[in-house]
Structure 1
Amino acid sequence: MTTTLNSVIKPRTEDSFAITFAPLSLEEIYAKADDPANGAVVVMSGMVRNQTDGQPVVALEYQAYEPMALRVFYQIAADIRSSWSDVKRVVIYHRTGRLQVGEISVLVAVGCPHRGEAFAACQYAIDTLKHNAPIWKKEWYDGLNGQLSSTWVSINACEQSTP
């Protein structure tokens, strides 16, 4: 699957995408992915964890180039439908701003008649988002003598899985 941003992809009305400062709701995202034809809704919830490589993390701060990030989300949905034609709904929401440990930073949900395709499409969506979307995070660490330190990290540093 190739993701290109040269052409403008229009989102389908049954799908939903957002970059937001507001807290994310599992229930809301699940409801947006639900459809009477679904046999499965797979939801991936990315959360702020309390450590990275053994270093204590106290918060993450996310920034995004929203217009391009949304175009990447639209392309992900189009790619999903090229590989898994039964997919009924694709939902991708990502937060920006400073998030505390335990807060949800990203929710991806895929509704589909069959669980196998729903799992595969959801994994493709999060892996591709992390690889292609212009979203950056700053990791805030509890440093020496109570001093906070931070480092910007591109989220595309992860490996991408292919279907």
Structure 2
Amino acid sequence: MPVRVQTEDFDLTTEVAQLRAANPSIGAVACFVGTVRDLNDGSTVAEMELEHYPGMTEKALESIAADARRRWPGIDVLIVHRVGRLKPLDQIVLVATTSAHRGDAFASCEFVMDYLKTQAPFWKKEQTENGARWVDARVSDDAALARWGIGPGNAGE
């Protein structure tokens, strides 16, 4: 399954091996693993809680993967995103893309991650030394997505 939302951790080696086994013409695999940081916006983070809407979130992730496949025909995409309570150093997200050549693998992986950061329906709440706070979207994430020709009004088109 190319998209999963789960509470349990994932194993990078296992996930990539399964993705590669599905297609013998793969010449390149690009991966991104996001982890919980212990510091954000000047505050120490003890824990992060990720919330989502089951069903809606998976559909949004599937749309992101489909958009990447339209832009880079021949690639494959895997997105594994965790939800629930996570501690610093815990893995949050895995994006892996495969293609015949490295250029498409790198570009599509970066595209999926940029798209995911701004368009996927996840909500993050951090526990800091000053109490709980919701994590706001960053202007830099919107700028990263804009370079792919996607803005707030045309995501998924």
Q: TM-score range by the shorter chain?
A: 0.7 to 0.9
TM-score if structure 2 supplies the norm length? 0.84
Seq. identity, %:
35
Query: Which ranges in structure 1 are unaligned for 5 or more consecutive residues?
Result: 1-14, 144-148
Output the CA distance in 1 between the equivalents of 2:17 and 2:53: 27
Output the CA distance in 2 between the equivalents of 1:155 and 1:125: 17
CA offsets per residue over residues 64-104 of structure 1, 9 Å max, x none? 112111111111121111111121x2100111111010000
Output the CA distance in 2 between the equivalents of 1:155 and 1:62: 14
Equivalent of 1:60, from 48, 58, 66?
Answer: 48
Cross-structure match for 2:135: 153
What is the DSSP-based 3-state SS (H/G/I as helix, E as strand, rest coil) of the residue aligned with 2:133? strand
What is the DSSP-based 3-state SS (H/G/I as helix, E as strand, rest coil) of the residue aligned with 2:55? helix
Q: Which 4+ residue blocks in structure 1 deviate beyond 3 angstroms?
A: 154-157
Equivalent of 2:7, from 16, 21, 29?
Answer: 21
What is the total number of aligned residue pairs between the two structures? 143
Cross-structure match for 2:37: 49
Whether the 8 Å contact between 1:61 and 1:98 is mirrored in structure 2 is yes
How many angstroms does 1:21 deviate by? 0.7
CA offsets per residue over residues 2-30 of structure 1, 9 Å max, x none? xxxxxxxxxxxxx5211101112212221
Query: Which ranges in structure 2 are unaligned for 5 or more consecutive residues?
Result: 149-157
Equivalent residues in 2 for 1:10-159, closer than 5 Å:
15-34=1-20, 35-87=23-75, 89-143=76-130, 149-154=131-136, 158-159=141-142
Output the CA distance in 2 between the equivalents of 1:29 and 1:155: 28
How many angstroms does 1:154 deviate by? 4.8
Cross-structure match for 2:154: none
Output the CA distance in 2 between the equivalents of 1:17 and 1:156: 24
Tell me which amino acid in the other structure corresponds to 2:98.
G
Output the CA distance in 1 between the equivalents of 2:137 and 2:99: 27
CA RMSD of aligned residues (A): 1.7
How many angstroms does 1:156 deviate by? 7.1
How many angstroms does 1:126 deviate by? 1.1
Output the CA distance in 1 between the equivalents of 2:53 and 2:117: 14
